[in-house]
Homo-oligomer: A and B are copies of this chain.
Amino acid sequence: MTTLRDVAQVAGVSRATAARVLSAPELVADATRAKVMQAVQELGYIRNSVAASLRTTRTGRIIVTVPDISNPFFSRVIRGVEEAAQKAGYAVLLGDTRNEREREEQYADMLNRREADGIIFLGHRLPTVLATILARDGGRAPVVNGCEFTSTLGVSSAHIDNAGAGHEVMQALYGLGHRDIALILGPADSPLTRDRLAGASRAAAARGLAANLIVEAGDFSIESGRRAAMALFARSPRPTAIFCFSDEMAIGTLAAARTAGLSCPADLSVVGFDDIQMARYVDPPLATVRQPMAEIGRKTVELLLGILSGRQVQPVSATLPYELIPRESLGAAPVNRLLRS
């Protein structure tokens, strides 16, 4: 293995000079620099990043933890993270936590072991390891959250206005004549679920229809959506619209509707959340709330870089725009409701 020492020797300069050529070439005389570069070429020298890290205490890596990498929403966010990180010269350490607290803690602990310079966590739980760091360093702690905003955490975050989105979907449904509307939620303890539910409830209450709003639990997966929908179909009155907190659950709902012999949107309107790629290709194309997934990812990196560079010392919350995308799964409430049911 060739080290800087070899390069220096071959170039006939000191180790210090050789190092300078690589990190601050402008400080070195042209001739010297040329000699060193030549030696680097000849020897095929490659900097040992571990040694550099030890000295500088910076690794050039960031950890990203995600509840489920195979969830298309998260994989898009990750892509944004990866892109922005790469651009800024950082590598991404991926942690799939499977929504398990222990794995979240393990990954967070890598920060303590200096395996990375910062962490972006996409789940809704703040690992205690990070809580400790935050308690100590506050807004200077290199910790950023994506998607799940809670002001009380004191963590920088990038997300959409989930309450606003929840409200807007309900308004659209009411505008189409729906009265009996069901929600299929995400994990109950997540701020994101809580916020969307709050927005939806507010809209219902404003119309005096709070009692007509039905709620089923879900976990974002297709299968949980299918199951929740089946449960909803058994109710009376059957809801005329289902608002799912993820597109995958909405796709499960569409599958359930087919099984139950319900036609969408004639008998049942379905609205999803996220606008994953698949949404426009299912039958019928799925109305949904578009989240800027890649942008959320990029933004979390930007926030983290701000902290790492010392520019940012207070938590910042970045609210990105969402957009309601009407597609064919969303239609007017059945008019002959009573006859049908």
Contact = CB atoms under 8 A, between A and B. Distances in A.
Interface of A: 46-51, 53-54, 57, 59, 61, 69-70, 72, 75-76, 78-79, 82-83, 86, 91-96, 103, 106, 109-110, 112-115, 222, 226, 251-252, 254-255, 258, 277-278, 281-283
Identify the interface centre among A47, A91, A109: most chain B CB within 10 Å of its CB: A91
B113 A47 contact: yes
Given A50-B114, A54-B51, A79-B69, A92 B91 contact: no
Contacts of A91: 93, 95, 110, 115
A232 to B, nearest CB: 17
B51 A277 contact: no
Identify the interface centre among A83, A86, A92, A96: most chain B CB within 10 Å of its CB: A96
A51 B338 CA distance: 73
30 contacts: A46-B113, A48-B114, A49-B113, A49-B114, A49-B115, A50-B50, A50-B54, A50-B59, A50-B115, A54-B54, A69-B75, A69-B82, A72-B72, A75-B75, A78-B94, A79-B96, A82-B94, A82-B96, A83-B96, A86-B103, A86-B106, A91-B95, A93-B94, A94-B94, A222-B278, A226-B281, A251-B278, A254-B281, A258-B283, A282-B282
Contacts of A255: 281-283
Given A50-B59, A70-B72, A94-B94, 20 more contacts: A47-B113, A48-B114, A49-B113, A49-B114, A50-B53, A50-B57, A50-B115, A51-B54, A54-B54, A61-B93, A69-B69, A69-B75, A70-B277, A78-B94, A82-B96, A86-B106, A91-B115, A92-B95, A93-B93, A254-B281
B48 A113 contact: yes
A49 to B, nearest CB: 4
Contacts of A57: 50
A23 to B, nearest CB: 14
B82 A76 contact: no
Contact of A281 (B110, B112, B115, B252): B252
A51 to B, nearest CB: 5
A180 to B, nearest CB: 25
Contacts of A94: 78, 82, 92-94
A281 B222 contact: yes
Contacts of A47: 113
A79 B70 contact: yes
